[in-house]
Amino acid sequence: MSIPLAYIGVIIVWSTTPLAILWSSEGVGFLFGVTSRMVIGAVLALVVAALLGAGMKWHRHALTAYLAAGLGIYGGMLTVYWAAQYIPSGWISVIFGLSPVFTGIMARYWLEGETLTPQKLTGMLLGITGLAVIFVNAIEMDGHVLLGITAMLLSVIIHSASGVWVKRINADVPAIVMTSGGLAIAAPLFLITWLFMGAEVPEEATSRTIGAIGYLALFGSVLGFALYFYVLRNVQATQVALITLITPVIALVLGNSLNSEPITMEVVIGAALILSGLALFQFGGQIVKIRTVFQRL
């Protein structure tokens, strides 16, 4: 599979996931929404892995990688679904823009070859500044919004730690197998949580809610995680996290056009800063090299 195409695929899936998360919980509760998605996704992933002839690997590194991925899926998604009750769907992706910061810091100490150059650090600071600008109007909202933001920040930390952990383990397994293993760990944890919290089965659900759960199970879980783990295996962890600096802009536009979520001037300015930070983070090193070459001429 082409790495650039897989990278683009992750961007598309992650850009549409926040709004789908919101819709998948309408009228059925966030716990039922996330549990049904993960259980269906785990079954689909195992079926797809079998059809592709990619059998599960059972060596120690593979099992440890499944655990790292599964705990990341469980902790990260549980907090995301809870937070989606209180904040606009576009904000989910925007807050995930902090992922490069946490990933970069963790990778600096846990992964060999991961470095934070001055250009990358400056790009990160621009991204953080953009996110801060977007969240200015959150101060004027009620406490539930701030709780939602806090939950999302926790999700970012869990997601980043899981990605770096999987990268550090470096298990030699296909992406679809990694997805199957991670979901096989996460799905029972979601079921246990749902049962512990009362296991309420909704009497009815709208077609939009059912469609959102199905989309998240197939594309958000199976395809999305498979592409993510494939990209994670082939590029630096900090570059994977850059996806979360692209998806906020797309997610905000989708939330505005499909769910009437407002885009304020703070959001526009913040998005511009985020994209500037992304450009510097990604291409800052090349710019310095080109400038050095011209200086020597």
- Residues 169-196 have pLDDT tens digits of 988 888 888 889 999 999 999 999 999 9
| pLDDT above 50 (res 294) | no
* Predicted pLDDT at 109: 81
3-class secondary-structure state, position 185: helix
**Cβ atoms 163, 241 nearer than 8 A:** yes
* Predicted pLDDT at 55: 77
How confident is the model over 101-110, as a mean pLDDT?
Answer: 81
The one-letter code for the residue type at 89 is: S
Q: How many CB atoms lie within 10 A of CB 204?
A: 8
* Predicted pLDDT at 147: 84
Please name the residue that has the structure tokens 């993510």: 228
Beta strands in the chain (DSSP E): none
* Predicted pLDDT at 63: 93
* Predicted pLDDT at 84: 92
Length of the chain: 297
How confident is the model over 94-110, as a mean pLDDT?
Answer: 80
Q: Is the pTM of this model over 0.75?
A: yes
Average pLDDT of the residues of the chain: 83
- Residues 226-251 have pLDDT tens digits of 888 788 778 776 677 677 777 888 88
DSSP 8-state code for residue 216 = I
The sign of the torsion formed by the CA atoms of 54, 59, 65, 67 equals: positive
Closest CA to 13 of 246, 239, 188: 246
* Predicted pLDDT at 107: 83
Interatomic CA distance for residues 274 and 279, integer angstroms: 9
- Residues 192-224 have pLDDT tens digits of 999 998 878 888 889 999 999 999 998 988 888
- Binned at pLDDT 50, 70 and 90, residue 293 comes out as very low
